[in-house]
């Protein structure tokens, strides 16, 4: 057990270096991290929490589990993330927190969002679940929120099938986070079964993994031709989760063709409007109906990426 405990300390130290944060706690998942973050913050039950309509549905469920009301903001057609204007459009008297998500690992305009939240005294939770190891303007994603979170779950940037992390620089907030974890075993990280060793191993290789992702993203970004598609607006040094792009034609026909040729393409995310009827967010809807994603994992074979890009470039209406 002594070894497990010391590995856990090393992991926390490494994580606090990666995200440049003072305090870090491990959780059982990214969803747990979000729920704990919301529960530990001193916001009134029933308050509204703003989140983007295009991201993992777990974010919406986490807000509801924590006892708050999710309010969806629209997203940019070029960055696939909510801009400050998208968020501002949803702020009401009941808004007490904003969850800023780096969807697909693309950095959202986190600096402007952070300044705005400070000026309005809104709690900012930065969701960097798909951006572990990403850096923007010399600052890691995960370093901007009052609280920031990572996931190490199934199919994430660091896909270890288990775990999450929660970060802050605020000592009082961290005490509340620890107190929340102490009474909710379900949210706590279990370092047994080799979990912590796997996490340590992945963090030791994070630099290499990130470099490979960046290379794969760069390849897609440079080689894709924009006749039938729209590429995202990204900094070229972003280690994305998957490379998202917009098919301006008939996506279903495109996906069927890809499938017939054994080209592996996914179509995340659907707009969460389908879960919150009554909202109309035109850009989220457009992305929902037209987005596709290319795998850019460190272990994705170069040939697969080349074949996928070639297929997309060849696709004609």
Ligand X SMILES: *Cc1c(COP(=O)(O)O)cnc(C)c1O
d(CA 101, CA 85): 15
3-state secondary structure of 216: helix
Stretch near ligand X under the rule CB under 6 A, chosen from 24-32, 82-90, 223-231, 245-253: 24-32
Give the residue with the Cβ less far from ligand X, 151 or 238: 151
Record the tokens describing residue 157, joined without a space.
């940037």
Q: Could you give the residue ranges of the DSSP H alpha helices within the chain? A: 2-18, 30-40, 58-65, 84-88, 110-120, 171-182, 195-204, 206-223, 251-260, 282-290, 302-314
Give the residue with the Cβ less far from ligand X, 26 or 56: 56
**Binding residues with ligand X: total (CB under 6 A):** 15
- Within residues 49-108, the interface with ligand X by CB under 6 A covers 55-56, 58-59, 101
CA angle 247, 248, 252 (to 5 degrees): 55
Give the residue with the Cβ less far from ligand X, 123 or 312: 123
Give the residue with the Cβ less far from ligand X, 37 or 176: 37
Stretch near ligand X under the rule CB under 6 A, chosen from 26-34, 81-89, 175-183, 256-264: 26-34
Q: Could you tell me the smallest distance in angstroms from the CB atom of residue 127 to ligand X? A: 5
Give the residue with the Cβ less far from ligand X, 113 or 224: 113
Q: Could you tell me the smallest distance in angstroms from the CB atom of residue 176 to ligand X? A: 20
Q: Could you tell me the smallest distance in angstroms from the CB atom of residue 99 to ligand X? A: 8
- Within residues 127-186, the interface with ligand X by CB under 6 A covers 127, 129-130, 151, 153, 156, 164
Give the distance, in angstroms, between the CA of residue 243 and the centroid of all CA atoms in the same chain.
13
Residue of closest CB approach to ligand X:
30
d(CA 237, CA 278): 38
Stretch near ligand X under the rule CB under 6 A, chosen from 6-14, 72-80, 122-130, 256-264: 122-130
CA-CA distances (angstroms) from residue 232 to 86, 218, 224, 226, 245?
17, 12, 11, 11, 6
d(CA 38, CA 59): 11
Give the residue with the Cβ less far from ligand X, 273 or 309: 273
d(CA 14, CA 6): 12
Q: Using CB under 6 A, which of 11, 19, 21, 29 touches ligand X?
A: 29
Give the residue with the Cβ less far from ligand X, 55 or 199: 55
In a 10 Å sphere around its CB, with 0-12 CB exposed, 13-18 middle and 19+ buried, how is residue 184 labelled?
middle
Our finding on whether 37 is near ligand X (CB under 6 A) is no
Residues of the shown chain interacting with ligand X in the complex, contacts defined by CB under 6 A: 29-31, 55-56, 58-59, 101, 127, 129-130, 151, 153, 156, 164
């Amino acid at each position: 057990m002594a070894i497990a405990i010391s590995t856990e300390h090393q992991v926390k130290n490494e994580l606090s270096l990666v995200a440049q944060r003072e305090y870090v706690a491990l959780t059982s998942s990214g969803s747990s991290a979000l729920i704990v973050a919301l529960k530990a913050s001193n916001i009134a039950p029933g308050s509204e929490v703003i989140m983007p309509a295009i991201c993992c549905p777990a974010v919406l469920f986490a807000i509801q589990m924590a006892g708050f009301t999710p309010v969806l903001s629209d997203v940019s057609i070029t960055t696939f993330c909510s801009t400050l204007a998208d968020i501002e459009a949803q702020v009401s008297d009941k808004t007490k927190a904003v969850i800023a998500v780096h969807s697909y690992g693309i950095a959202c305009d986190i600096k402007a969002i952070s300044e705005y939240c400070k000026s309005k005294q809104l709690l900012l939770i930065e969701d960097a679940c798909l951006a572990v190891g990403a850096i923007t303007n010399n600052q890691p994603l995960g370093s901007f929120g009052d609280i920031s979170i990572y996931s190490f779950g199934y199919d994430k940037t660091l896909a270890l099938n288990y775990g999450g992390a929660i970060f802050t620089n605020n000592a009082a907030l961290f005490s509340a986070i620890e107190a929340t974890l102490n009474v909710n075993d379900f949210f706590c990280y279990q370092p047994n079964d080799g979990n912590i060793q796997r996490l340590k191993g992945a963090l030791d290789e994070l630099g290499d993994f990130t470099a490979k992702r960046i290379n794969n993203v760069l390849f897609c970004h440079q080689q894709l031709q924009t006749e039938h598609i729209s590429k995202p607006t990204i900094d070229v040094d972003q280690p994305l989760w998957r490379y998202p792009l917009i098919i301006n034609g008939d996506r279903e026909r495109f996906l069927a063709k890809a499938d017939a040729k054994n080209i592996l393409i996914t179509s995340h995310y659907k707009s969460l409007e389908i879960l919150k009827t009554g909202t109309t967010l035109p850009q989220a809807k457009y992305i929902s109906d037209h987005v596709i994603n290319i795998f850019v994992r460190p272990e994705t074979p170069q040939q697969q990426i080349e074949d996928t890009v070639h297929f997309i470039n060849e696709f004609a209406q």
